[in-house]
Structure 1
Amino acid sequence: MDPLEDVLTLLETRSHLSTSLVAGGRWALRFEAPQGVKFNAVRRGSCLLEVDGVGGSIPLEEGDCYLLARPRPFVLRSDPATTPVDAGPVFTRAEGGVARAGRGDEVFLVGGRFSFGARAQELLLDRLPPVVHVPAGSPHAETVRSALDLIDQELTRGEPAASLVAEHLAVVMLVHVLRLHLARDPHTASGWLAGLSDPVVAAALTALHRDPARPWTVAELAREAAVSRSTLAARFKAAVGQGPLEYLTHWRIELAARQLREGSATLAVVARSVGYGSESALSVAFKRVTGMAPGDYRRCPARQASPSAVSPSAASPS
């Protein structure tokens, strides 16, 4: 598995498609802060997106899509002069899975939201800017458009399990959007996500994620990346914010924490599976990273959900 796949799997990424929006004329809707990561795609027409805390309006054209990586209120509008109204009542009146605003149908948006497990905020969302905008004309945006076309087909044909298939396709779209974002704006990401933009660091990250239980050395990782040890160490630290072996320790603890949350394996089994030769070795590392002993972590669900537990360095349109 590669690092992006690993993290999205660890976070139990799920998509939830919701009511579409058709709008025309002059209109403006204000939405409450969404749960999870909000996404929308403009399938027809154009409009403006405004997000609290982000300066200015973002013009959205046909074929554009965006992710809201922070739970912030936002506005979709036809023009800057129209006063927004609460989106809630508009979507309450939706018929056939479509809400309507203004007069006409020149604008059509589809989308939904992504939900994640408890570790998403620190492992993924904090690594992204508040808004990820993918313009239709940007390089490789065709992959996102293709996923959206397939989602449309599933939802309009009404075949068995169409909603399930469409939701899986939405996760595929998320992967493409993150890839495109990394290719286009590598400096707006941070941590492991930023490391994927550097081919040297990405090679080392891929090796670590491919076999996290292996007793890696910096020299071995440098060979994987075809650079010197000093080059790898410097570039890894600059991109990710920590050294490669420190990153490996934190990733192993993430994997161990998941097993402690979800399974009943003994601590010795968990330790061996993530590269520690004994329970005591895992316990020392786990407590150093999390501040908790593994047994306490397993017995304390409330602490497991805390974003600081393991630290590695409402109505809305579709």
Structure 2
Amino acid sequence: MDPLEDVLALLETRSHLSTSLVAGGQWALRFNAPSGVKFNVVRRGACHLQVEGADEPVALSQGDCYLLTRPRRFTLSSGPEAEPIEAGPVFARAESGVARTGDGDDVMLIGGSFSFGARAQELLLDALPPVIHVPAGTRQARTVEWALTAIGDELLHRPLASTLVAEHLAVVMLVHVLRLHLAREPRAVSGWLAGLADPAVAAALTAIHDDPARPWTVAELARSGAVSRSTLAARFKDTIGQGPLEYLRRWRIELAARQLRQSTTTVAVIAHTVGYGSESALSVAFKRAMGLSPRDYRRHLGSV
């Protein structure tokens, strides 16, 4: 399994589609900070996005999409001259899944959000910039456009299971947006995501994710990327911020935590499946990383 797929699966990525927005004339809506990762797609017309804390607004055209990866208030508008009103009451009056504001229907947006498991902030969101904008009309955006068009068709024609299909397509869109962002701006991400932009580091990450229980050495991981041991260690540290074996240990802890959350498998068995020789070895490493022993971690989850 490749690292991006692996982490998104570990985070239990889910999409949730929200009410569409149709607007026209001079208009502006102010939105509360989203609880998850917010996305919108401009299916018709053009508008502006202003995110709290950002210096400049983002001009959005037909086919553009964006992700908001931080819980920040934001405004969508026809332009800076429009006085914003709160979006909540407008969406509360929505009919047939469409909210309307302004005068006319020259702008239409499809939106939604992505929710993740408890580890998303550290493993994914902290590695991303607050706003990711994917403009239409570029070669890289074509794969995203396919998913967006399919989502629009599902919501417009409402065939059987349309909501379920559209939500799965939204996750497909998320994967494509992350891929495109990595290809376009590899220096705008950090952590393991940044490592995916370096071929040698990406090869080592893939090897780790393919077989996390294997007793890897830095030399073996370096061979997977066709570089020397010292080169891999330096590039791994430069892009990801930690060494290959430190990353391996942390990933094993994440896998162990998932099993503790999702199964009743004994700690001893979990230790073996993630590459620790004994329950005590896992317990020491787990408590160092998570602040709780595996048993206390599972007990705490059961009490929430």
* TM-score of the pair, normalised by structure 1: 0.93
Within 2, Cα distance between the matches of 1:97 and 1:288? 48
Q: Aligned partner of 1:64: which letter?
A: D
Provide the residue aligned with 1:180 in structure 2. 180
Q: Aligned partner of 2:239: which letter?
A: A
Provide the residue aligned with 2:88 in structure 1. 88
Q: What are the equivalent positions in structure 2 for 1:8-27 lying under 5 Å apart?
A: 8-27=8-27
Provide the residue aligned with 2:253 in structure 1. 253
Q: What are the equivalent positions in structure 2 for 1:1-318 lying under 5 Å apart?
A: 1-301=1-301
Deviation at 1:188, TM superposition (A): 1.2
Deviation at 1:27, TM superposition (A): 0.4
Unaligned 5+ residue runs, structure 2? none
Deviation at 1:156, TM superposition (A): 2.0
**Aligned-partner SS, 1:26:** coil
Provide the residue aligned with 1:308 in structure 2. none
Deviation at 1:97, TM superposition (A): 0.7
**Aligned-partner SS, 1:215:** coil
Change in 2 beyond 3 A, CA 1:52/1:212: same
**Aligned-partner SS, 1:140:** helix
Within 1, Cα distance between the matches of 2:51 and 2:14? 23
Q: Aligned partner of 2:286: which letter?
A: F
Deviation at 1:73, TM superposition (A): 0.5
Residue by residue over 1:193-229, the C-alpha shift from the partner in whole angstroms, topping out at 9 and shown as x without a partner, is: 1111111111110110011011111111011000110
Within 2, Cα distance between the matches of 1:139 and 1:227? 32
**Aligned-partner SS, 1:300:** helix
* TM-score of the pair, normalised by structure 2: 0.98
Deviation at 1:302, TM superposition (A): 8.5
**Aligned-partner SS, 2:49:** strand
Deviation at 1:154, TM superposition (A): 1.6
Alignment RMSD (CA, Å): 1.2
**Aligned-partner SS, 2:108:** strand
Q: Aligned partner of 1:83: which letter?
A: E
Runs of 4+ aligned structure 1 residues displaced above 3 Å come to none
With CA pairs under 8 Å and 6+ residues apart, which has the higher RCO, 1 or 2? 1
**Aligned-partner SS, 2:105:** coil
Deviation at 1:110, TM superposition (A): 0.4
Within 2, Cα distance between the matches of 1:257 and 1:237? 25
Deviation at 1:138, TM superposition (A): 3.3
Unaligned 5+ residue runs, structure 1? 306-318
Within 1, Cα distance between the matches of 2:214 and 2:302? 31
Residue by residue over 1:276-315, the C-alpha shift from the partner in whole angstroms, topping out at 9 and shown as x without a partner, is: 1111111121122222211111111289x9xxxxxxxxxx
